[in-house]
Structure 1
Amino acid sequence: MEKKVEGLTIECVQGDITRQEGFDAVVNAANAWLRPGGGVAGAIHRAAGPELEEECRSLAPISPGQAVITGAYRLPNRYIIHCLGPRYGIDEPAAELLAACYRNALRLAEEKGLSSVAFPAISTGAFGYPLQEAAQVAVKTVAELAPSLQSVKRVRFVLHGEEAFRAFSQALEEL
């Protein structure tokens, strides 16, 4: 599933965030301390190698909605952008904090002059954000930023599982 919005290509694929060749950066659905964990954070840290955890130490902790950038080490990308999404029902206003993740990640990508970024479904795993709502916030936020993006020309949502892929594809279709 793919759609062009103001010169930005937004796409949804089902796949593995650690295997996004051809993308300048992948986004980590991080925890506040930027440590390896379960889900996306665990997969990214395992694939990138121990150097990633070392670089992350000096950048932590981060707050919900905040994003920081590191090298990608053993991943096939140049950078990893780490975002702390909101814990649904705890970190409020959840939709604003989730949107801030996407805005701040794309701001960092722009500052580095990157042309492509791959995002997971931030906050939808252990943080409990409902998939349909998260998909709406993510896709809408990225589309709203499209006119202001100078270097970023391609955003991919890399979804783990059929349900997530369907939710994000539907949100993109409804744009």
Structure 2
Amino acid sequence: MTGTRVVFVQGDITRQSVDAIVNAANSSLLGGGGVDGAIHRRGGPAILAECRALRASRYGKGLPTGQAVATTAGELDARWVIHTVGPVWSAAEDRTALLTSCYRESLRVADELGARTLAFPAVSAGVYRWPMDDAARVAVETVRNTPTAVEEVRFVLFDDRAYGAFAREAGR
């Protein structure tokens, strides 16, 4: 463990009061469904404007899977949104390293920003179909084993199923 406090909350990630909220983004960075759409809707147009600027400069082809980049948080109760692109789950190919990278890279970006509190969703466990128990294992293990100056990582889980999977993983 890195000394980082790990907390589990059932609720809406867009309602969290933290330094940075991690967005389970799609590679376009231009919004979408699930967590991504909710963050863009609640955060307002400033997030989309910065995402468009990133696409026009560094990420013309989109943000690669497993990478992370920060923008303003707009109207959210946070300073930044850290966008990361999770892998789509595959039964034929082990993409665990990419999912692990989402959490490590988000923590790296948070450290660069000076964020002390960070809220994560269950990256890839929604429309990207990553099995929830395994998504929880990867998320919790990675956060526990990644050196960071972040003082509190909050996993914000939308429903009972996700919260239960993460809580079980935390007890291991």
TM-score, with structure 1 as normaliser? 0.91
Give the Cα separation in 2 of the matches to 1:72 and 1:91.
Answer: 36
Matched-pair contact (CA < 8 Å) for 2:46–2:72: no
**Identity in percent:** 47
* Equivalenced residues, count: 166
Amino acid at match of 2:167: S
Match of 1:167 in 2: 165
Deviations 1:80-112 (A, max 9, x none): 000000001189541110000000000001111
Deviations 1:129-162 (A, max 9, x none): 00000000000000001xx22x311000000100
SS in 1 for 2:109: helix
More deviation, 29-38/89-98: 89-98
Give the Cα separation in 2 of the matches to 1:94 and 1:70.
Answer: 26
Question: How much does 1:52 deviate?
Answer: 1.0
Answering whether residue 47 of structure 2 is matched by residue 52 of structure 1, we say: yes
Matches within 5 A, 1:59-98: 59-60=54-55, 61-89=62-90, 92-98=93-99
Matched-pair contact (CA < 8 Å) for 1:86–1:92: no
Give the Cα separation in 2 of the matches to 1:34 and 1:65.
Answer: 13
Give the Cα separation in 2 of the matches to 1:91 and 1:54.
Answer: 37
Match of 1:33 in 2: 28
Matched-pair contact (CA < 8 Å) for 1:64–1:91: no
Match of 1:140 in 2: 141
TM-score, with structure 2 as normaliser? 0.93
Give the Cα separation in 2 of the matches to 1:46 and 1:75.
Answer: 10
- Structure 2's unaligned 5+ residue stretches are 56-61
Moved beyond 4 Å, runs of 4+: none
